[in-house]
Chain A
Amino acid sequence: MIELKGISKRFGDLVVLNGVDFQVRPGETVALLGPSGVGKSVLLKHINGLIRPDAGEAWVDGMNVHALKRKELARLRSRIGYVFQNGALFDSLTVYDNIKLGITDEACADDEAYCRDRVAQCLDLVNLPQETAVKFPAELSGGMRKRVGIARAIAGQPTYLLWDEPTSGLDPVNADIIDALVEKLDDELGVTSVVVTHDVRGAFRVADRIALLHEGRIRAMGTPAELRASQDPTVQQFLERDLTIPVTY
């Protein structure tokens, strides 16, 4: 279970998060919606301790993330897969080595046969051909880089997956492919996911619950149906832009 309690964060004079309370139950997929620059990624990075809050606490599996010691935090992080907005692949390493770095269990990472099998499995899961393994990130398209980033995030068999804008910068076809992948991985791996996105249609497709981040706080949170029925003008204004075409959920 992920629980954020009163998280506040400012950068200089800019208040990005102002007392955010947020909960994700085991096994569910929560989409965190909001316009660009509202602090969604900043909030996500509090969950695995990449950013330290000015106030508030982030709890994962009953552990206060920012109070953990170095090794405990590393162990916790090995159970949290993080899919970065632009892949964040190590450009000096091949796709194989990038995905292998995602194998966080030391004994498994030292076993070359296990690594080969696991990398092949992960490439299959993200629908990439096995030949991709020998390529470098610079040789891949944007969509392929995102999928390698996903493969790296799932290589360590995480309990949680944090998705930072998985479809941003992609054309609609590739965005649909990635959304389908998010759904598929959540179902097949049974992970608990937080998906940060400004793509409303994608969020309604993949999420069990949706939260809207507005002016540093969670403005609304509920199932897709509850959110659509919300009378809050801010929620309606945000959803209307992208939900003029009906979506099934």
Chain B
Amino acid sequence: MESQSVTLDIRRLVGRFSLRSTSHVGRVSYLALEMARAIPEWRIWVPRMFEQAAAVGYGSLFIVGLTAGFAGAVTSLQAGYQFTGSIPVYFAAGVIVESIILELGPVLTALVLAGRVGARYAAELGTMRVTEQIDALESLGRSPISHLVLPRVVAGTFMLPVLVIFADLVGIAAGWFASSGALEMTNADFVYGAQYFFRPYDVWYSMIKSFAFGLAITVVPCYVGFTTQQGAEGVGRSTTAAVVSASVLILFLDAALAKVLLKT
């Protein structure tokens, strides 16, 4: 009897989870469709997009640079620790540059921005929802998608690859600097190692990942913020949910894109 009720509960849980997930997928798809329909209203969303792009891009330079710098330096130190004496020192340069371009630059930048930008988007839109500002826009015959969502999504999606390039440069520079100090690697060794393992496709892969991560850190928080309910507590819940969901999605996309795009 007891096991039967447990089974029923699990069924119910699975059922609820499936229903909720399907509902979210459906609503996100509808939001995407609404965004596509709002594209012709460029006079509304383009000026707002530039404002958002400045806030996302320029406003994130410090934290992105700091994260990438430390990541590059630590990668360099750890590579030195693992490789010293066993293989040629220029291998470490290859590991540093490739790790940063393929993985650390895009993923760390996206995770940092999921916190910084995703939380901001969810909180802004959530507050606008619970204070009826979004209803007010609609009641004035204006589309909240073209006024609020599309500028944020486009700005975030296109600024992330730019920030990733910046993060890659800072990370490689920090790795180079750290390796020359800690591993006693010459500049010639570093350049040789970096070039030896480098393939131009790596940069494309990094950019494709960044673009996908950019969509994740903008669409998810905008959706979560847009559907916020129940006052200040709801805004808090939405902000947390937006950051967690965007971060998890980044990790899933990272694995999926590695499998699809990197033919080994």
DSSP majority for the B interface? helix
**A238 in the interface, Cβ–Cβ < 8 Å?**
no
CB distance B140 to A88 under 8 Å? no
**In the complex, per-residue mask of B170-188: 1 if CB is within 8 Å of any chain A CB, else 0:** 0000000000000000000
CB distance A88 to B141 under 8 Å? no
Which residue from chain B places its CB closest to the CB of A101 in the assembled complex? B140
Distance of A213 Cα from B126 Cα, bound (Å): 30
B residues 125-183 in Cβ contact with A at 8 Å: 128, 131-133, 135-143
Distance of A80 Cα from B143 Cα, bound (Å): 15
CB distance A104 to B140 under 8 Å? yes
Report the contact-size class of chain A (Cβ under 8 Å from the partner): 20 to 34
**A241 in the interface, Cβ–Cβ < 8 Å?**
no
A residues 41-68 in Cβ contact with B at 8 Å: 45, 48, 50
Give me 11 A-to-B residue pairs in the complex whose CB atoms sit less than 8 angstroms apart, sorted by A's number: A50-B139, A70-B37, A74-B143, A77-B141, A78-B141, A82-B136, A82-B140, A84-B139, A88-B131, A91-B133, A152-B140
- Contact for A48 among B132, B133, B139, B142, CB less than 8 A: B139
Quote the shortest CB–CB distance from A21 to chain B (angstroms): 23
Quote the shortest CB–CB distance from B65 to chain A (angstroms): 28
CB distance A88 to B133 under 8 Å? yes
Complex interface: chain B residues within 8 A of A84 (CB) = 132, 135-136, 139
Distance of A156 Cα from B140 Cα, bound (Å): 9
CB distance B133 to A77 under 8 Å? no
How many residues of chain B have a CB within 8 Å of chain A? 14
* Chain B residues engaging chain A, CB cutoff 8 angstroms: 37, 128, 131-133, 135-143
Distance of A91 Cα from B143 Cα, bound (Å): 18
CB distance A50 to B140 under 8 Å? no
CB distance B135 to A104 under 8 Å? no
Which residue from chain B places its CB closest to the CB of A85 in the assembled complex? B132
**A25 in the interface, Cβ–Cβ < 8 Å?**
no
CB distance A78 to B136 under 8 Å? no
CB distance B136 to A74 under 8 Å? no
Quote the shortest CB–CB distance from A111 to chain B (angstroms): 15
Quote the shortest CB–CB distance from B44 to chain A (angstroms): 11
Complex interface: chain A residues within 8 A of B135 (CB) = 45, 50, 82, 84, 88
CB distance B136 to A90 under 8 Å? yes
CB distance B143 to A88 under 8 Å? no
Which residue from chain B places its CB closest to the CB of A41 in the assembled complex? B132
Known contacts A86-B132, A88-B131, A88-B133: A78-B140 contact under CB 8 Å = yes
Which residue from chain B places its CB closest to the CB of A11 in the assembled complex? B229
CB distance A90 to B133 under 8 Å? yes
Distance of A82 Cα from B140 Cα, bound (Å): 8
CB distance A88 to B142 under 8 Å? no
**A184 in the interface, Cβ–Cβ < 8 Å?**
no
CB distance B138 to A104 under 8 Å? no
Distance of A59 Cα from B99 Cα, bound (Å): 62
Distance of A86 Cα from B128 Cα, bound (Å): 12
**A102 in the interface, Cβ–Cβ < 8 Å?**
yes
Quote the shortest CB–CB distance from B47 to chain A (angstroms): 13
Which residue from chain A places its CB closest to the CB of B143 in the assembled complex? A74
Distance of A91 Cα from B128 Cα, bound (Å): 9
